Amino acid sequence: MEAAVSTIQWSIAPLFIQDYIEFLTSYQSDLVVRTIQHIQIIVQSIAVAVPLGVILGTLITYNDRAATVVLWLAGIMMTIPSIALFGLLIPYFGIGQPPVIVALILYSQLPVIRNTYVGITQVDKSAIEAGEGLGMTRIELLRRVQLPMALPVIMAGVRNAVVILIGIAAIGAFIGAGGLGFFIFDGISDRHVPKIVVATVFLSILALAFDYGFANIEDGFRRRNGEEIEPALLTRFVNWVRPS
């Protein structure tokens, strides 16, 4: 009998608005702290992942075989479940944030490496020929022509990676990394639906905000490269909601 009552409460609980209000008021500061923690994890991961991915993506443009192998390995990485990867990393990095950050760096490599590779190999051949003909060394060509021209595509990869990482980082709370995932695991064990729903909404908003920010940076690079572009979908949506 008691079990039946609790099951009913569990299933209809999301409808009780006062539960949400109660949760939001009593956990206000906690929510802010966890959100900041979440952002910190993402920023630290990206700070390492982007330079690493761009360097790897650039190097493999010089060797087709290496490109195949590296892109394949980075692709395999994406198929490993995050919980399993955390488990594999704990013996080396302990628990808490370090193994999570390492895992996030590994997960972000596929989009960053792939987009760097594609971006550089798609640079207009005539610009490269002109650069060579004008006497640029390989490094000068890379720094002055290939990388700047590939920047919008690389940026799209980073943007893609960040959105993936925000979701995966939530699972990091399972091994003590903190962040917004904390509320989700807490909510599951407490059978406290508002915790789960609110944390999920926060994660979504975070992901959309990062996506919007990076989309703008990407558009900026595209415009600088002289492309005539339609604003990204989200940018358009936001501009429509809030015309500037």
Partner 1 sequence: MIEFEHVTKVYDDGTEAINDVSFEVDQGTTTVLVGPSGCGKTTTMKLVNRLEDPTEGTVYYDGEDVTTLDPIELRRNIGYVIQEIGLFDHMTVAENIGTVPELLGWEQDRIDDRVTELMSLMDLPPDQYRNQYPRELSGGQRQRVGVARALASDPEVLLMDEPFGALDPITRENLQDEFLDIQDKIDKTILFVTHDIDEALKMGDMIALFDVGKLVQYATPREILETPKNQFVKDFIGENRALKKLQVTPVEEVMLTDVPDEDRDELAAIARGERDGIEPVKRLDSTQVALSQLIENDIAALPVVDDGGDVIAVVTEKAIRGRQRTYEAGGA
Residue 229 as a binder of partner 1 (CB under 8 A): the answer is no
Indicate which single residue of 5, 26, 81, 226 sits in contact with partner 1 (rule: CB under 8 A): 226
Indicate which single residue of 33, 77, 102, 128 sits in contact with partner 1 (rule: CB under 8 A): 128
Q: How many CB atoms lie within 10 A of CB 37?
A: 19
- Rounded least distance, CB 54 to partner 1, Å: 17
Helices of type H across 80-96: 82-93
- Rounded least distance, CB 198 to partner 1, Å: 43
- CA nearest neighbour of 219 among 206, 193, 238, 200: 238
Residue 25 or 126: the one with the smaller Cβ distance to partner 1 is 126
Stretch that binds partner 1, among 12-20, 85-93, 137-145, 185-193 (CB under 8 A): 137-145
Do 33 and 39 touch, CB atoms closer than 8 A?
no
- Rounded least distance, CB 133 to partner 1, Å: 3
| Axis crossing angle, helix 28-59 with helix 181-190, rounded to the nearest 10 | 130
Buried b / exposed e across 112-135, counting CB within 10 Å, b at 16+?
bbbbbbbbbeebeeeebeebeeee
Residue 119 as a binder of partner 1 (CB under 8 A): the answer is no
Q: How many CB atoms lie within 10 A of CB 143?
A: 12
Residue 120 as a binder of partner 1 (CB under 8 A): the answer is no
Indicate which single residue of 3, 135, 189, 244 sits in contact with partner 1 (rule: CB under 8 A): 135
Binders in 5-34 for partner 1, by CB under 8 A: none
- Rounded least distance, CB 117 to partner 1, Å: 19
DSSP state of 62: G
Do 150 and 224 touch, CB atoms closer than 8 A?
no
Q: Which residues contact 85 (CB under 8 A, 6 or more apart)?
A: 103, 106, 107
Indicate which single residue of 32, 66, 127, 201 sits in contact with partner 1 (rule: CB under 8 A): 127
Binders in 206-225 for partner 1, by CB under 8 A: 224-225
Stretch that binds partner 1, among 74-82, 93-101, 148-156, 176-184 (CB under 8 A): 148-156
For 136, left (φ over 0), alpha (ψ -120 to 50), or beta?
beta
By CB under 8 A, name the binding residues for partner 1. 124-137, 140, 144-145, 148-149, 151, 224-228
